[in-house]
Chains A and B, each alone.
Chain A
Amino acid sequence: MAELFRPGDQVRASRSDPPHHTRLPRYARGATGTVLECQGRHPLPDRRARQLPARPEPVYAVRFAARDLFGDGDHTVTLDLWESYLRLAGLEGMR
């Protein structure tokens, strides 16, 4: 299974607020950032926390501009996000 995203891709983080453990912080929900690198493959914590079977999937470092997260700020914030949390920006609903 190839990685869906490449360094430089613009990706949008999921807007969903799941009723269980997740590693997508709420401050990044729905925000668009740039993929820096793929960090390897790991099972989705949302499933692991509920003891559900979880296949390793790509995890990406994604860089966001602070103003896209908080409306202001001149810094960047880089998050490490599982592929399931991300879509190509502008292509929501497609995979």
Chain B
Amino acid sequence: MSEDHAGPAATLAARVRHLEALLEQRGLIDARELDRSLEAFLARASPANGARVVARAWLDEGFRARLLSDANAALPELGLSMRGGLQEQRLKVVQNTEQQHNVIVCTLCSCYPIALLGPSPTWYKSPAYRSRVVRDPRAVLREFGFELESAVQVNVWDASAETRYMVLPRRPAGTDNLNEQALAALVTRNGLIGVAPA
């Protein structure tokens, strides 16, 4: 490999470009098609999709019931889906209540509802989160500044197969007069993973 004095990241960038060029020569990829699919993916998949789903579920009990029983069938009501990868993935939405709190993880790699929410944050993929959240979820939540009452039951979901999980957080108090858009603005990516209240 040629020396690159701009540091390891620049070297990696060059190696990735080189690999892309080789694969394009072999007819295995089309660089422009790659750029297009990447652009489309980033435009389509985002935590904002999850926030819209949550806000609708907070306002519409019928939608919430459909979402909890079959999320893939309910998503198209908002123009959303779990398609975009090789095949549509099953989404399971798990609902927080006064008594139950849910947290998602993938201890073996980094499974996440990427087709709907975009790439997961780096901490979600870190061995620190993956090793510790199954063992002591309350301590991990505390590192996010989220102290759960001891009476609340914590359920950790380790996405070890083909289902992807998303948390439906509890609707914050004092939001009765907010419309769907304003409610969606309260929902964070961390809330959809379960390491924040909403």
Interface size on B, residues (CB 8 A): 20
A73 within 8 A of B: yes
Inter-chain contact count A-B, CB under 8 Å? 63
Are B163 and A78 in contact, with the CB atoms below 8 A? no
Q: How far in angstroms is the closest Cβ of chain A from B64?
A: 19
Q: Can you list, as one digit per residue, whether each of A27-64 has a CB less than 8 Å from chain B (1) or not (0)?
A: 10000000000011010000000000000000101010
Cβ of A18 within 8 Å of any chain B Cβ, yes or no, is no
Which residues on the B side are within 8 Å of A73 (C-beta)? 135-136
Interface status of A79 (Cβ within 8 A of chain B):
yes
- CB within 8 Å of B: which residues of A? 23-25, 27, 39-40, 42, 59, 61, 63, 66, 69-70, 73-82
Question: Interface with A: B38-46, B149-157, B178-186, which one?
Answer: B149-157
Contact of A23 with B157 in the complex, beta carbons under 8 Å: no
Q: Is B81 an interface residue (CB 8 A)?
A: no
Nearest-neighbour CB distance to chain B for A71, whole angstroms, equals 10
Given A70-B135, A75-B138, 12 more pairs with CB closer than 8 A: A23-B108, A39-B92, A39-B162, A39-B163, A42-B162, A59-B161, A59-B162, A63-B155, A73-B135, A75-B153, A76-B155, A82-B161
**Least Cβ distance of A20 to chain B in Å?**
14
